[in-house]
Amino acid sequence: MIEIERKFLIDNTNITKLATNQYLIKQGYLSSVAERTVRIRTKDDKGYITVKGKSNESGTSRMEWEKEIPFEEALKLLSICEDYIIDKTRYLIPHGKHCFEIDVFHGANEGLLIAEIELSAEDEVFEKPIWLGEEVTGDNRYYNSFIAKKPFKNW
């Protein structure tokens, strides 16, 4: 139940051509306080509820619990979420022994592209592709719960 993840900016949407899969994602927050977030997400035609704890000091690890829920229920829950619903396309790009998840944001967060990689340990070494930009792990501005309240276009 511990998620270990690092985040990076990218500035080139052309890398999405490397994707082996992609999903349309809409997500909102029933709770987005620092100690915990409760997220509702649709990914294509599936629904999910996720609870995440507060990140550790480096921003790399935190508790995460996720459960698939009926799509119709996810849509109803999205309708009562806080503020803004995030709209993005997620691309899966294998690289080395890992798979990067590239989020290309739409709407009020248009222009923001974030690459995430999940690791098995905080100090795990991984092969960095040349298209990977500045690391933003632990920078709260790049948490989805933050950009749901303060969209990228307003920075």
Reference 38, options 87, 82, 103; nearest CA is 82
Reference 110, options 128, 84, 129; nearest CA is 84
Catalytic residue among 23, 29, 84, 143: 29
Upper half-sphere CA count for residue 21 (Cβ side, 13 Å): 8
DSSP of 93-120: EEETTEEEEEEEE-GGGTT-EEEEEE-S
Is 23 among the residues known to form the active site?
no
Strand partners, 49: 40, 67
Residues with catalytic roles: 29
